[in-house]
Amino acid sequence: MQVPEDYFSLFSLERRFAIDKNALAANFRALQNENHPDRVAADDEQAKLLAVQKSSLLNDAYATLKSPLARAGYLLTLQGVDVEGVSQDDLDMAVLMEQMELREKVAEAPAGEAGLAVLLPIKRDIQSRIAAREQRFVANLEGDDLSSAKRVFHELQFLHKLFQEIEVNEEKRLGY
Amino acid sequence: MVLLQIQEPGGKPARPKHRLAVGIDLGTTNSLVAARCGLKVETLPDESGEHLLPSIVHYGSDGLISVGRKAKAFALTDPKNTLVSVKRMLGKGLTELRQLGHYLPYEFDATREDTAPAVLTHAGSKDPVAVSSDILSVLKARAERALKGELEGAVITVPAYFNDAQRQQTKEAAELAGINVLRLLNEPTAAAVAYGLDSADQGNIVVFDLGGGTFDVSLLSLTRGVFEVLSTGGDTNLGGDDFDRLLAAWLISQSGESAVVEGEALQLANELKHQLSDVEEVEFTMEDYQGSLSREQFAEIAKEPLSRAMMICRRSLRDARLGLDEIDNVVLVGGSTRMPLVRAAVAEFFGREPLTSIDPDKVVAVGAGIQADVLIGNKSDSDFLLLDVTPLSLGIETMGELVEKIIPRNTTIPVSRAQEFTTFKDGQTAMALHVLQGEREAVADCRSLARFTLRGIPSMVAGAAKIRVTFQVDADGLLSVSAEEIFTGVKSEIQVKPSYGLEAETIESILQASQENARADMELRSLQEAKVDAMQLIDAVAAAVIADPQLLEEGEEQRINEGVAALAAALENGSSAEVSDLTAALNRISGDFAARRMDVHISRALQGESI
């Protein structure tokens, strides 16, 4: 396994947001098949250590590209954008209002399992908002408008976080 | 643990063509060993033809150690020296063990209460690792007799939900028995391996494993010989024993006999449970009481553990982001899945009949045997690979006794993740790190794996030092943590050792930074860093004084100017510590002025003026 230029080239993919998920999975499995520590389970410690490192890199790369949010962040990082730091410029007042509205809706769901019926359409709504934002992200990135792309990325972070919180909320209602 | 390699006189024996490797299912109730015999991987019987070895060890007063059926006979007559379900004790402290409320008729070794719980027996103090090792030794001997050769390695299965300490101790027990561990394999994964290869299945598989003492559910996807574990869930304290216990309690309450010995009620419960797998209703006699038990009644008695298991299934589906309609197969593992009420509940939940063509008691050992054969190199051309995940999140304690997750659960392993931390006090030269495992946010709710201290951090202002903490989980699911101070480049590493519940606090490994050779380099680098900070501050203060002179209080400008002059002098020929100290001093002197400027600018901004 060669040291790759980036995670996309590692899996023989074009460096872009829209990827062929099946090709990603197939190439990941093929590379893991060659490099996994299990392939050298009966060999010496040095070989095992090297295999652990290669295999870890593959797992990390795969996890990054598999998740649309992590993939978007990674594309920005490759362009030299620092996605860790969030400044005032990165957040629109309208986005904060959107978050507040969605969170209010979640809070209004009745207690217990009865609330699940209310949460489901909110989740669908968030999913469609995520899809729309992803399209804008791609347009911004292709148009080389990195600051807009970064803004959309942070909006996506908010939406994904809220989505996860709703799932935890659902779990609690189901009793675990 | 490194074992002595004893070489026979007369040089190395010729290596056999087929290298001998076995799969071992070290179970709570029963253990098995499996190996390739010709074309098929099968479990190996003992001399009397029995495949299942009860995981029971008896230490006799005559010095005799018996394992399995022979030991089981002593469970009622000599319970203090008969260790059962020892797997449940692995990786746990005594306090934790007692809280779990299991039947523990043992006398524990008071001198070892702080570490692993050890039982005082005729053969001395025996901890769970030693007892497990005695079971493994018997299986090893059985395999070597059946295969007529020396074992080169073994794959040992563990519940997917086992934490780091439990995995470590399983490995230790195997090594103590002289077994070379090729891999610790999650039990449900092993079961899917057994089915996957035998039936050449493709798609998403649920493995529902209800054993004597533990419950696991795993979701796997199988594509062209590669198994990917999508999620795992489970409970290390949920199993067939719980059904026995509930049924025993019911029997006692029905008969109203206070004289009934708990052990006897348990035995009767266990018998009735087995009988109900074949018939709809059973009659029983307990002391003078005669009664009957139907499947329906039993289902009602066993409602709680069963619904707990189904809840865990639901969660695993969610973790894997799979819907019920995306499940292609459900595999049943563990003797407890023979219960018709369990099969019915599984079929109802997943909306399909589960696979049962392989004996649920043997399927894990068979899968481990297949994997052992691949790992030892007998099938080097195989394109078959297992990708496992971490069962529990791993993290580190941060401010406010909260846990910051570094590796979330269900991350594919091996994995390496790093996080940067910094000092919070000026001149801080050591940092305590607390490694935890679990899903909850509060430290108190997670399991403490290790504490260690990184020493030798260069003295800097708060927040300037950069400590990179790296978590590495290997293919066995075992964790090692390393910490590196970035300025000095010094790196130290520890393998996280098993800890025992509440006593984990006492485990402390010290990372002594051996930084001698890096010291000169470090001083130079930290001086440069300090100078950059100092110059930035001088520029900022000067600009502020010019911009907002009206905000300065009486005498304040003079104090600020003095601070700037002192710092500027230190920039010429001071050490990094002097530059840092004076930078901090100037920050303090100009702090109030900066705060006033901030207030004014914010209020202007709120009124719509541009800054």
Residue-wise DSSP of chain A: -PPPSSHHHHTT--SSSS--HHHHHHHHHHHHHHH-GGGGTTS-HHHHHHHHHHHHHHHHHHHHHHSHHHHHHHHHHHTT---S---GGG--HHHHHHHHHHHHHHHHSPSGGGGHHHHHHHHHHHHHHHHHHHHHHHHHHHTT-HHHHHHHHHHHHHHHHHHHHHHHHHHHHTT-
Does residue A109 sit within a domain?
A: yes
The alpha-carbon gap from A142 to the nearest alpha carbon of chain B, in Å, equals 30
Of B19, B386, B412, the CB nearest to A63: B412
Task: Extract the runs of DSSP E, i.e. beta strands, from B56-117.
Answer: 57-59, 65-67, 82-83
SS3 B106: coil
Alpha helices (H) along B222-261? 240-255
Do A42 and A108 reside in the same domain of the chain?
Answer: no
Q: Which of B357, B387, B417 is the last residue of a domain?
A: B387
Note whether B325 and B448 are same-domain residues: no
Per the CB < 8 Å rule, is B223 touching A53? no
Domain of residue B190, CATH code: 3.30.420.40
Secondary structure of residue B333 in the 3-state scheme: strand
The answer to whether residue B607 scores a pLDDT higher than 60 is no
Mutate: best of A55, A62, A119, A123, partner B, most B CBs <10 A: A55
Number of structural domains found in chain B: 3
Q: Give per-residue burial for B234-266: e unless 16+ CB within 10 Å, then b.
A: bbbbbbbbbbbbbbbebbbeebebeebeeebbb
Contact B226 A60 (CB under 8 A): no
Q: Is the pLDDT of residue B381 over 60?
A: no
Give the distance from residue B419's alpha carbon to the nearest chain A alpha carbon, in angstroms. 13
Contact yes or no for A52 and B472 at CB 8 A: yes
**Per-residue pLDDT tens digits for B85-109:** 899 888 887 777 777 766 778 888 8
Q: B385, A176: Cβ pair inside 8 Å?
A: no
CATH number at residue B502: 2.60.34.10
- Contact (Cβ atoms closer than 8 angstroms) between residue B272 and residue B286: no
The pLDDT score that the predictor gives to residue B200 is 53
User: Looking at the structure, do residues B205 and B174 belong to the same domain, yes or no?
Assistant: yes
- What pLDDT is stored for residue B134 in this prediction? 96
Q: What is the dihedral of CA A95, A96, A97, A100, to 10 degrees?
A: 130
Q: Distance (Å) from the C-alpha of residue A164 to the closest C-alpha of chain B?
A: 11
Number of CB atoms found within 10 A of residue B379's CB? 13
Phi-psi domain of B63 (left: phi exceeds 0; alpha: psi -120 through 50; beta: other): left
Residue A104's CB: how many other CB atoms inside 10 A? 9
- Taking only the tens place, the pLDDT of each residue in B44-78 is 999 999 999 999 999 998 889 999 999 998 988 89
**Cβ distance of B152 and A42 shorter than 8 Å:** yes
Q: Tell me if B219 sits within 8 A of B330, measured CB to CB.
A: no
What's the total number of domains in chain A? 2
**pLDDT tops 90 at residue A22:** no
pLDDT reported for residue B383:
57
Between chains, do A42 and B153 touch, taking CB under 8 Å as contact? yes
| Amino acid residing at B292 | S
In a domain, A81, yes or no: no
Beta carbons of A29 and B226 less than 8 Å apart? yes
Chain A contact for B413 (CB, 8 A cutoff): yes
Which residues on chain A are in Cβ contact (under 8 Å) with B415? Answer: 56, 59-60
Q: Mark yes or no for CB contact B376/A42 under 8 Å.
A: yes
Which of A79-83, B245-249, B520-524, B556-560 bottoms out in mean pLDDT, i.e. has the lowest?
A: B520-524
Same domain, A60 and A96: no
Q: Quick one: average pLDDT of B330-359?
A: 91
Which residues make Cβ contacts (< 8 Å) with residue B134, sequence separation at least 6? B57, B65, B67, B177
pLDDT tens readout for residues A120-160: 899 999 999 999 999 999 999 999 999 999 999 999 999 99
Query: Domain limits at A95?
Result: 88-173
Residue B319 forms part of a structural domain? yes
Q: Is the sign of the CA dihedral A114, A118, A120, A126 positive or negative?
A: negative
User: Would you state the pLDDT for residue B105?
Assistant: 80
Domain boundary among B353, B387, B421: B387
Q: Are residues A58 and A106 in the same domain?
A: no
CATH of the domain at B593: 1.20.1270.10
**Chain A CB contacts of B474 below 8 Å:** 37, 52
Residue B437 within any structural domain of the chain = yes
* pLDDT band for position B503 (cuts 50, 70, 90): very low
CB contact under 8 A, B387 and A41: no
Together in a domain, A167 and A107: yes
Statement to judge: residues B37 and B110 lie in one domain: yes
Which of B152, B228, B311 minimises the CB distance to A175?
Answer: B311
The candidate with the shortest Cα–Cα distance to B315, out of A28, A59, A174, A57, is: A174
Residue B186 pLDDT > 90? no
- Compute the distance between CA of residue A128 and CA of residue B7 in angstroms, rounded to an integer: 68
Query: Same domain for B129 and B34?
Result: yes
List the CATH number of the domain containing A50.
1.10.287.110
Three-class secondary structure assignment of B535-589: HHHHHHHHHHHHHCHHHCCCCHHHHHHHHHHHHHHHHHHCCHHHHHHHHHHHHHH
State yes or no: pLDDT of A42 exceeds 80: no
Structure tokens at B35: 């190996």
Q: Are residues A168 and A106 in the same domain?
A: yes
| Residues A115 and A162 occupy one common structural domain | yes
Q: How many other C-beta atoms lie within 10 A of the C-beta of residue B389?
A: 27
Nearest to B567 by CA among B548, B540, B546, B593: B540
Percent of chain A whose predicted confidence (pLDDT) is above 70: 95
Per-residue confidence (pLDDT) for residue B16, from 0 to 100: 46
Q: CA B463, CA B503: separation in Å to the nearest integer?
A: 32
Q: In terms of domains, do B454 and B486 share one?
A: yes
Please indicate whether, in this complex, the C-beta atoms of A32 and B223 are within 8 angstroms of each other. no
- For B205-234, write each residue's pLDDT tens digit: 899 999 877 788 988 887 766 677 788 888
For the annotated catalytic residues of B, the residue numbers are: 25, 87, 187, 209
CA angle at residue B190 from B186 to B191, to 5 degrees? 120
Cβ atoms of B221 and B231 within 8 Å: the answer is no
Nearest to B390 by CA among B375, B407, B410, B369: B410
Query: Range of B462's domain?
Result: 394-514
Q: Report d(CA B156, CA B21) in Å as an integer.
A: 11
Interface of A with B in 21-60 (CB under 8 A): 25-26, 29, 32-33, 36-39, 41-42, 52-53, 55-56, 59-60
CB pairs under 8 A between A and B: 73
How far is Cα B79 from Cα B71, in angstroms, rounded to an integer? 10
Lowest mean per-residue pLDDT among A74-83, A155-164, B407-416: B407-416
Among A29, A52, A174, whose Cβ lies nearest the Cβ of B414?
A52
A14 in B contact zone (CB under 8 Å): no
Q: Cβ of A38 and B474 within 8 Å?
A: no
Mutate to test the interface with A, among B193, B226, B439 (most CBs of A within 10 A): B226
Q: Which of A52, A67, A89, A116 best tests the B interface by mutation, with the highest count of B CBs <10 A?
A: A52
Task: Give residues with Cβ within 8 angstroms of A150, minimum separation 6.
Answer: A76, A81, A83, A90
Nearest Cα of chain A lies from the Cα of B409 at a distance, in angstroms, of 13
User: Measured between beta carbons, which residues in chain A are less than 8 angstroms from residue B411?
Assistant: 59, 63
Residues of chain B found within 8 Å of residue A26, distances taken between Cβ atoms:
223-224
Same domain (yes/no): B406, B499? yes
Assess if residue B290 is contained within a domain.
no
Find chain B residues with C-beta within 8 A of A171's C-beta: 315, 318
What's the token pair of residue B359?
């004996």
Question: With contacts defined as CB-CB under 8 Å, which chain B residues touch A60?
Answer: 415-417
How close B287 comes to chain A (CA, Å)?
40
Contact B414 A32 (CB under 8 A): no
Kind of pairing between the strands at B53-54 and B385-387: unpaired
B360 and B408 part of one domain: no
pLDDT digits (tens, 9 = 90+) for B419-476: 888 877 788 888 888 888 887 788 888 888 878 777 777 788 877 888 888 898 888 8
N-term to C-term CA, chain A: 43
**More confident position, B367 or B502:** B367
pLDDT band at B501 (very low <50, low <70, confident <90, very high): very low
Higher pLDDT, B293 or B400: B293
Pairing of strands B447-455, B508-511: parallel
On the question of a cis peptide bond just before residue B414, with omega within 30 degrees of 0, the verdict is yes
A94 within domain boundaries: yes
Residue B153 sits at the chain A interface (C-beta within 8 Å): yes
In a domain, A79, yes or no: no
Residues B48 and B168 in one domain: yes
